[in-house]
Amino acid sequence: MTHLLVVEDEPNLRQLLVTNLTFEGYSVEAVDDGLKGLIAHRTKRADLIVLDLMLPHMDGFQVIQELRKTKDHVPVIMLTARGSESDRVHGLSLGADDYLVKPFSVLEFIARIKAILRRTHPQTMPTVLQSGAYRFDLTAMTASRDNRPLDLTPREFRLLEILITHAGHTHSRSELLDQAWGADARPTPRTVDVHIANLRKKLGDDGEKNLIATVGGEGYRWTVLVEPVH
Ligand code: CA
């Protein structure tokens, strides 16, 4: 079971993250300061650390420094305050893998965690998926149809990834906005429709195939069975 460590001193946010990560099926430990975080990680090694930067006793920067100094390359996603661009840059230069700016949506948070785990633990999640004539490489972010590559933008690929990794599930436009655009940008739900239309065109998804179904006023759903390629 993938084990995650959350280091966050705001009790409400910490609880929210723990609840959602547990719901996603991860084993989760949570602590409220940097030193406790290091100790927890050394006691039970985490597969990924969610690390707030502003923490009592030992801040997030010191935690990353300490980890990397001891050649511990556990993936770290930093939680940073809005507007602290220099914190982000500093954290990434110390060796953090990714960051989220507060306040962030839980959906985006989960999506980022999964993306990092996919990159760093490729054996735990299939990264090449097949669905009918289509093949998707989630690590390389490429898609092909009958072995012919499809020319997708990163945003289109991200939308596609959300749909195929939850085939059969209907995603509302606001869910797709959260997960594919994130909290920083706020395009309108209409933007989702436009991107889906382009995606359908590129997939050759004419009315007959109906790969991406429009579900009433609710949203979109991938309709074809998706299987991992070994
Ligand atoms: Ca804090």
Contact yes or no for 131/225 (Cβ under 8 A): yes
Q: Identify the CATH number of the domain defined by range 3-123.
A: 3.40.50.2300
Both tokens of residue 213? 């179904």
Side-chain-facing half-sphere of 131: CA atoms under 13 Å: 23
Domain(s) of CATH 3.40.50.2300: residues in the chain: 3-123
State the pLDDT at residue 185: 63
Q: Tell me the three state secondary structure of residue 136.
A: strand
State the pLDDT at residue 217: 82
Q: Measure the CA–CA gap between 39 and 31, rounded to whole angstroms.
A: 10
Instruction: Spell out the per-residue pLDDT of the chain, length 230, in tens.
Output: 889 999 999 999 999 999 999 888 899 999 999 999 999 999 999 999 999 999 998 999 999 999 999 999 999 999 998 777 889 899 999 999 999 999 998 888 998 998 898 888 766 566 899 999 999 998 888 999 999 999 999 889 999 999 998 888 899 998 888 788 865 566 788 899 999 999 999 999 876 678 999 998 889 999 998 888 86
Q: Ligand 1 centre and the CA of 98: distance in Å?
A: 17
Q: Measure the CA–CA gap between 65 and 210, rounded to whole angstroms.
A: 50
pTM over 0.75: no
Tell me how far the alpha carbon of residue 100 is from its chain's centroid: 10
Q: Ligand 1 centre and the CA of 90: distance in Å?
A: 16
State the pLDDT at residue 120: 80
Both tokens of residue 224? 């074809």
Q: Tell me the three state secondary structure of residue 60.
A: helix
Q: Ligand 1 centre and the CA of 228: distance in Å?
A: 39
φ and ψ at 83, to 5 degrees? Answer: 90, -10
State the pLDDT at residue 148: 95
Q: Ligand 1 centre and the CA of 27: distance in Å?
A: 22
Q: Ligand 1 centre and the CA of 43: distance in Å?
A: 23
State the pLDDT at residue 131: 94
State how far the alpha carbon of 8 is from the alpha carbons of 4, 32, 37, 80, 152, in Å. 13, 5, 9, 11, 37
Residue for token digits 């997960």? 179
Interhelix angle 106-120/173-181, rounded to 10 degrees, is: 50
Q: Measure the CA–CA gap between 51 and 204, rounded to whole angstroms.
A: 42
Amino acid at 135: R
* CATH class of the 128-228 domain in this structure: mainly alpha
Q: Ligand 1 centre and the CA of 29: distance in Å?
A: 17
Domain(s) of CATH 1.10.10.10: residues in the chain: 128-228
Contact yes or no for 35/67 (Cβ under 8 A): no
State the pLDDT at residue 181: 81
